[in-house]
Amino acid sequence: MATVPKPKALECPNCGSAVEVRGFGHAVSAVCNHCLSVIDTKSPSLEIIGKFNNKLRVTPLIPLGQRGNIDGGTFEIIGFQDRHINVEGTEYHWQEYLLFNPFKGFRYLIHYSGHWNVVRTLHAIPEYTTKMGKKAMKWQDRTYTHFQSATATTGFVIGEFPWRVKVGEQVMANDYTSAPYSLSSESADMEINWSAGEYITGDAVWKAFNLKDSPPEAQGVYFNQPNPHTGLVTARWRTCWILWGLTIVMFFLTNMFTKQEEVLSREFVFVPGPTSAPGSQASVTPIFELKGRPANVRFTTSTDLVNQWMYVNYALINDQSGGARDFGRLIANFGGDGSPNDNITIGPLAPGRYYLRVDPEWQPDPNVTIATPVPRPVKFRVRAIHDTPIHWPLPFILLVLLLPPIAATFRKLAFEGARWSESDYAGG
């Protein structure tokens, strides 16, 4: 395994401190860690070409010279810079670590508010395109949507770099996202440089560089941070459709294997009037038998009611045990409101012999002072269907199954909303 050579030390011409150069022939400039003088390493006399303000000093979270296994190789941190953009009077700072491996070249480790990216320079220009009405770039079969444009200013630098470092250097930066990947361009003096990044967690960075303690906690949503809900949304919708299919199949099978046997059909005539008080016209049906496994029974009442109402008291009585189950039904039909028919499902009921007590009634409204006209006689038929399918739970179950994927989708959309609220397209 190839090892990373040891750094070479230079003497700062300003303060005499040792300036370690780890990039060897790649270093164009270096910044003294003590006096912050910018040194031209290509000059035989190590000419000082600038100096950073010590009041702007920023301490790197990862020290210079630290080595770590990242992006498929062992890289050493040789440079560090703090940069910022100004948005409506507020400065937003981020830090860039320059990584070097003599066999793999340079990488950048970008840090902003607990979010990290591993970045490499591109040697080709991505293709310009559009996506959903926004500017976009296409690179290696992936489309990156424009996120923001801003002027980036270099405020503080230490270490060495393969370019001439300038105090207060400014570039026009454009960021494009296709989480967890990103494309960025920096242009200045008619020159444009492109780089590609990939989001990485702080824990992964700390593990790669074998750092102690814990990384800073990520704040907010970063522009190429992967949406943690994306995979969950896909899984939830997949599970939902599977359960929907199974539920529908189950209901179809239930329909196929229910007997739906008519065990009772009986016609009655009810005469409303002063003698139609409860129990005055009660009657019972012939005994009918429920066979097989315990199952429900659907009772239907079909009437010829027109602009009138009636109430029917039912009692389903077991002929052997005498046990009864009572239920009452109000049937009303007035000018299209209501219905002349009614049905109710009872059960499951144990097999056995049963009969039905039918007790219709009608009484004038006690709150009406004038005489209420007596309705005409009502013909009605009562039917009992044994072992019928139950349909009402199906839409309820299907609706409940939709709730988890819908909730996951809303969380995903909320995450994306938070992401784009920081972009040039916020509120658009």
Query: What's the rounded mean pLDDT across residues 159-170?
Result: 86
Q: Which amino acid is at 275?
A: T
Q: List, for residues 115-139, the tens digit of each pLDDT value.
A: 999 999 999 999 999 998 899 999 9
Angle 401-404-409 from CA coordinates, rounded to 5°: 125
Q: List, for residues 24-49, the tens digit of each pLDDT value.
A: 567 777 888 778 877 776 776 677 76
Q: How far is CA 66 from CA 156, 161, 410, in A?
A: 19, 16, 42
Q: List, for residues 353-369, the tens digit of each pLDDT value.
A: 999 999 998 876 655 55
- Binned at pLDDT 50, 70 and 90, residue 1 comes out as very low
Tokens read off for 385: 């269907």
- What is the DSSP pairing of strand 90-101 with strand 73-87? antiparallel
CATH 2.60.120.380 positions along the chain are: 259-386
Q: List, for residues 78-96, the tens digit of each pLDDT value.
A: 999 999 999 888 899 999 9
DSSP string, 199-238: EE-HHHHHHHTT-SS-PPPP-S--TT---TTHHHHHHHHH
Q: List, for residues 373-388, the tens digit of each pLDDT value.
A: 667 899 999 999 999 9
351 has pLDDT over 80: yes
Name the nearest CA neighbour of 23 among 139, 177, 163.
163
- Residue 78 has what pLDDT? 92
- Distance in angstroms (rounded) separating the CA atoms of residues 146 and 14: 44
Q: List, for residues 313-344, the tens digit of each pLDDT value.
A: 999 999 999 999 999 999 998 877 889 999 99
The CATH code that applies to domain 259-386 is: 2.60.120.380
Residue 180 is given by DSSP the state T
The rounded mean pLDDT for the chain is 89
Q: Which residue has the tokens 């010829």?
A: 304
- Binned at pLDDT 50, 70 and 90, residue 112 comes out as very high
Q: List, for residues 269-324, the tens digit of each pLDDT value.
A: 998 876 566 677 899 999 999 999 999 999 999 999 988 888 999 999 999 999 99
- Distance in angstroms (rounded) separating the CA atoms of residues 351 and 320: 11
